[in-house]
Amino acid sequence: MSYPKYQNLIGGEKLSARSGKTFLNVNPADHSDIVGEFPASEAEDVALAVAAAKKAFTTWRLVPAPKRAEILHRAGYLLSVRKEQYARDMTREMGKVLAETRGDVQEAIDEAFYVAGEGRRLFGQTTPSELQNKFAMSVRMPVGVVGLITPWNFPMAIPSWKIFPALVCGNTCVIKPAEDTPLSTYNLVQALIDAGLPPGVVNIVSGFGPDAGAPLVEHPDVRAISFTGSSEVGSLVAQRAAALFKPVSLEMGGKNAQIVLDDANLDLALEGALWGGFGTTGQRCTATSRILLQKGIASRFTSRFVARAKSLKVGNGLVDGTEVGPQVNAAQIETSTKYTAIAQAEGAKLLAGGHPLAEGLHAKGTFFAPTVFGSVAPDMRIAREEVFGPVVSLIEFSTFEEAIQIANSIDYGLSTALYTRDVNRAFSAIRDLEAGITYINAPTIGAEVHLPFGGVKQTGNGHREGLGAIDFYTTWKSVYIDYSDKLQRAQIDNAE
């Protein structure tokens, strides 16, 4: 069988893994379609990539930030020209429908143009000194070599959130993309190279977490780590980085709630719930996995939601009319199947789906039927643990205050949504929901690149993508310039 063979990108060169090991990137909608063969990198490959990034840093950090930004701007243009090609590549390797992969590429385009503007806005502060003839200011400095570990569900957008701000700040990068979706990261970096990015500034090592991700976290020349993935792995990354005194940015899981009050526009809430629950086959950290329904509208909403979920067309994302693509691999199917059994054992009522699809058009892929559970109690595992599949729980409540309590009763805090016509309750929800993102009369998915993205509790550790990324990829340096031509001893001489 003939298929493309890719290599690591290290110092501008294409290199195989030193071990010679490889793995296949397979289309989850059609396992006979091999997207490509990629290196299964290990610690030695990571070390070579870090050395290349460290060497490139010596010159890249000296490139004026506006000039670095010009490369990002050109890359954004190239991404827009190649949008359709890159979207189709992404659908083949990740599975989500073509409209969504176009959106994924568009998010990278938006990020490129947004971050390019930051090349002229890496502001510090100037402030009066407490002493005469002395000037005080602060400036942003690049961190150095940064290690980036990215997931498979947004295989171009999320790498762009990390790479672009890191570059405009003057850092160099080593990225390990998810083993399920490496091609989209290769495409993103190719646009940067074609836009004029010097060799070694961004390096790619493909492979698996324990073999390539862990050595990247542990390498002494990697000054910071940005990780997006599960809370379980993120905890391990944080512990290891802390032991090595490395700053780490974590963006992890979610168990996001959409609250629908009695006064809501039910048609709008229904569309939001379908998109939030089954868009990207539920494989988003922001997916609407819990729908909280006030009892006055619960029955009407449930019957309509279940009917729509059953009617969704599941199939290959490249086929027109497909609404829900495959899950990314067999392990995700196993997880959805496991939680279906757990939910039923705990007393939840299966209202739709609950099983893999493995016949006919679905025979060659990893598909799972859109699944809805009713009679879900807030303390059930299906209402508290992240499934990362097309599985939605319906939970009923009586009062607004009860809904807020249920929404906040989990270990995660990424995204929330409230559907209501009551502006007072909307503002109360904005204040009281424990989440990094709150939508009013919109689904839990759909973040924009120029706002901070991230969450609280076990979703994140306080850093943010988007607006907050510049803070992570720079360090502060305070500068004092004394032009008095004499020794001034700050607080000592200024005491009287």
Residue 436 lies in a domain: yes
**Helices 83-94 & 182-194 angle (0-180, nearest 10):** 160
pLDDT tens-place string over residues 187-208: 999 999 999 999 999 999 999 9
Alpha-carbon distance of 39 to 15, in angstroms, equals 9
Per-residue pLDDT at 495 exceeds 80: no
Residue 128's CB: how many other CB atoms inside 10 A?
Answer: 8
Q: How confident is the model at residue 490 (pLDDT cuts 50, 70, 90)?
A: confident
- pLDDT class for 218, splitting at 50, 70, 90? very high
Query: Do 195 and 248 lie in a common domain?
Result: yes
- Which of 387, 485, 482 has its CA nearest to residue 131? 482
Residue 493: predicted pLDDT? 80
Distances (CA, A) of 433 to 282, 347, 404, 451: 22, 27, 6, 18
- List pLDDT tens digits, range 1-50: 789 999 999 999 999 999 999 999 999 999 999 999 999 999 999 999 99
**Are 221 and 324 members of one domain?**
no
**Is the four-CA dihedral 480, 482, 488, 494 of positive or negative sign?**
negative
User: What CATH number is associated with residue 379?
Assistant: 3.40.309.10
The conformation of residue 212, written as its DSSP 8-state character, comes to I
Kindly report, residue by residue over 48-89, the tens digit of the pLDDT: 999 999 999 999 999 999 999 999 999 999 999 999 999 999
In a domain, 321, yes or no: yes
* Average pLDDT rounded to a whole number, residues 431-456: 97
Q: Does residue 486 sit within a domain?
A: no
65-81 helix and 98-118 helix, angle to the nearest 10 degrees: 160
269 and 326 belong to one structural domain:
yes
**β-strands 145-149, 224-228 pairing:** parallel
pLDDT in tens, 304-327: 999 999 999 999 999 999 999 999
As a whole number of Å, the CA-based R_g of the chain is 24
Whether 73 and 44 map to the same domain: the answer is yes
Q: Residue 386 is part of which domain span?
A: 256-440
Note whether 71 and 91 are same-domain residues. yes
Q: Do residue 70 and residue 131 come from a single domain?
A: yes
Mean pLDDT of 381-407: 98
- What mean pLDDT comes out for the span 398-413? 98
* Strands in 300-388 per DSSP E: 349-352, 356-357, 367-368, 371-374
Segment 85-100 shows an average pLDDT of 98
Please report the sign of the dihedral spanned by the C-alpha atoms of residue 191, residue 19, residue 33, residue 358: negative
Task: Kindly report the average pLDDT of the chain as a whole number.
Answer: 97
Same domain, 19 and 107: yes
245 and 380 assigned to the same domain: no
Q: Tell me the residue type at 471.
A: D
For the chain, the helix, strand and coil percentages under 3-state DSSP, each to the nearest 5 = 40, 20, 40
Q: Collect all residues with Cβ–Cβ distance below 8 Å to 423 and sequence separation of at least 6.
A: none
**DSSP collapsed to 3 states, 263-297:** CCCHHHHHHHHHHHHHHHHHCCCCCEEEEEEEHHH
Same domain membership, residue 244 and residue 300 = no
Query: Which residues are designated catalytic?
Result: 251, 285
The verdict on 175 and 244 lying in the same domain is yes
Total-model pTM:
0.97
- pLDDT for 189 equals 98
User: Looking at the domain assignment, is residue 446 inside a domain?
Assistant: no
Residues 154 and 192 in one domain: yes
Sign of the C-alpha dihedral, residues 49, 51, 57, 58?
negative
Kindly state whether residues 293 and 204 are assigned to the same domain: no
Angle at 144 between CA 139 and CA 148, to 5 degrees: 120
User: Does residue 194 fall inside a structural domain?
Assistant: yes
Question: DSSP secondary structure string, 4-47?
Answer: -B--EEETTEEE--TT--EEEEE-TT-TT-EEEEEE---HHHHH
Residue entry with tokens 């340096």: 477
Has residue 1 been placed in a domain? no
CATH of the domain at 186: 3.40.605.10
Residue with tokens 């939030």: 276
Q: 390, 411, 440 — which closes off a domain?
A: 440
Q: Contact 176/213 with Cβ under 8 angstroms?
A: yes
Residue 379 resides in a domain? yes
Tell me which residue of 394, 419, 167, 183 sits closest to 302, measured CA to CA.
394
Amino acid letter, residue 100: E
pLDDT at 467 over 90: no
| pLDDT score, position 494 | 73
Q: Is residue 64 part of a domain?
A: yes
Question: Domain end: 393, 410, 440, which one?
Answer: 440
pLDDT of residue 327: 98
| pLDDT confidence bin for 496, thresholds 50/70/90 | low
Number of structural domains the chain divides into:
2
Give the integer Cα–Cα distance in Å for 394 and 374: 5
| pLDDT reported for residue 357 | 98
Mean pLDDT, range 255-273, rounded to an integer: 98
Rounded CA-CA distance 254/39 in Å is 31
